[in-house]
Amino acid sequence: MLTKTELSNYCNEAREKYLPHISIDCVVFGFHEGMLKVLLLETKNQEEYYLPGGFLQKVEPIENAANRILKERTGLDDIFLKQFYVFGDPDRSKEHFDLYKEMLPENENWFANRFLTIGYYALVDFFDVDPTPDQFSISCNWVDLNQLPKLGLDHANIINTALGTLRVQLNYQPIGYNLMPKLFTMPELQKLYETILDKKLDRRNFQRRMLGFGILTKAEETRKGGAHKAPYLYSFDMENYKAALTAGLKGGW
């Protein structure tokens, strides 16, 4: 939690710099060791976690604001980013207002505003991210999607909505390309799809469909190590992948 002086300074700066009533929250997805992960901030002196987020500057396109916020938290410039929903429950910011209301009068407290938040999801390579906390947080870390800690505000709902959007858009956005490393095995790709869809997929059918789309290129080398036969490595053929996504990867999962 900020001190009264820190809070007052932040609120004064926010009123000068940002549009009131609008915020941005970002669900950053990464994939590592067969697990879908999200980037979360651990707040100071609170047993709660939050999504990376921020506010919209008075003269700034919304997409630029989302990219700026994510660069501050991840260190990345070029991120696959999609707006997916606007969250506007009247009491969604009440937790912040209650937290700081004893420290500042309501007319001076930036967090006393009602905020609509614009939700974005981002897809990144797990290893490219340099997680960086903001001034309200003590840490910024990857967390397994199925082991989420206590989340503040409506951020659990934001994550669930983002995941639902990801499932719907799996056949129309380059989700695999943005979450997988450059080279991967077919079982690793299948695990990504199973994790997003939250269901088991038949191995042979999955491989047949993925190869049938014509979006994968088999590498000359194989994955070394292990007691079993080294599995083939694949990469995405981006020209074919984009063409296939334009038409939609046909058939359900």
Among residues 190, 180, 141, 111, which one has the least CA distance to residue 42?
Answer: 141
Least confident of 15-19, 149-153, 162-166, 229-233: 229-233
Structure tokens at 232: 């083939």
Identify which of 3-12, 20-29, 244-253 has the greatest average pLDDT.
20-29
Phi-psi category of residue 161: left, alpha or beta, with phi > 0 → left and psi -120 to 50 → alpha: alpha
Helix (H, G, I), strand (E, B) or coil at 60: coil
Strand 137-144 and strand 35-43: the pairing is: antiparallel
Query: Residue 26 pLDDT > 90, yes or no?
Result: yes
CB contact at 8 A, 139 and 128: no
Q: Say how far apart CA 174 and CA 161 lie, in whole Å.
A: 19
Task: Note the pLDDT tens digit of each residue in 184-232.
Answer: 999 999 999 999 999 999 999 999 989 988 999 999 887 766 556 678 9
Least confident of 18-22, 92-96, 167-171, 224-228: 224-228
CB contact at 8 A, 123 and 175: yes
**Residues ≥6 apart with Cβ < 8 Å to 160:** none
Q: What angle in degrees, to the nearest 10, is found between the helix axes of 155-168 and 186-197? A: 130
pLDDT band, very low/low/confident/very high, at 237 (cuts 50, 70, 90): very high
Portions of the chain given CATH number 1.10.10.10: 180-247
Q: Say how far apart CA 127 and CA 223 lie, in whole Å.
A: 19
Portions of the chain given CATH number 3.90.79.10: 4-170
**Which residue shows structure tokens 């950053």?**
28
Least confident of 7-21, 213-227, 234-248: 213-227
Query: Residue 165 pLDDT > 70, yes or no?
Result: yes
- Give the torsion through C-alpha atoms of 204, 208, 209, 210, to 10 deg: 100
Q: Say how far apart CA 53 and CA 227 lie, in whole Å.
A: 45
Strand 18-32 and strand 53-57: the pairing is: antiparallel
Query: Residue 145 pLDDT > 90, yes or no?
Result: yes
**Residue type, position 138, single letter:** I
Among residues 127, 141, 228, which one has the least CA distance to residue 185?
Answer: 228
Q: Say how far apart CA 43 and CA 52 lie, in whole Å.
A: 11
Task: Note the pLDDT tens digit of each residue in 31-89.
Answer: 999 899 999 999 877 778 999 999 999 999 999 999 999 999 999 998 999 999 999 99
Q: What top-level class would CATH report for the domain 180-247? A: mainly alpha
**Residue type, position 8, single letter:** S
State mean pLDDT over 13-34. Answer: 95
Which string of DSSP letters, residue by residue, matches 33-93? TTEEEEEEEEETTSS-EE-SEEEEETT--HHHHHHHHHHHHH--SS-EEEEEEEE--TTTT
Assigned CATH for 4-170: 3.90.79.10
